[in-house]
Amino acid sequence: MSLLLPVTAPVATTALVLAQQPGNGDNGGQGEDFGKSSPLGFLILLLFLIAVALLVRSMTKHLKRVPPTFDPEAQAAAGAETGERGDEPAAARAGEPAKQPEKSESS
């Protein structure tokens, strides 16, 4: 055991020296106001939280409008299930024949 004592003594001494706070008054930038927040900082934090809440609400609204798929065949199949077709005019969807625009003879 006498062999271990001289080897561990410098390690223990180094650990004690490194763990001590500096005695010259330098606290590493941690003065008496360290960690305290001003009312202005609290107001800015509240404004950020309100902005995030409004952005989440807006994003949720926009995501509800996104179709389940962007594939044209899948959209047509989904429209057929619900009875809607996006590629036909409203009159054809209602069962009425679509009217063709009349051509004028002046051109």
CA distance 106 to 20: 100
- Name the residue among 91, 24, 93 with its Cα closest to residue 101: 91
What is the model's pTM? 0.40
Look up residue 44 and give its DSSP letter.
Answer: H
SS3 67: coil
* Residue-by-residue pLDDT tens, the chain, 107 positions: 455 556 667 777 777 766 665 566 666 677 777 777 788 999 999 999 999 999 999 999 999 999 888 888 877 777 777 765 555 555 455 555 555 656 666 64
Query: Are the C-beta atoms of 86 and 77 separated by less than 8 Å?
Result: no
CA distance 47 to 51: 6
> b vs e for 45-59, b when ≥16 Cβ sit within 10 Å of the residue's Cβ?
eeeeeeeeeeeeeee
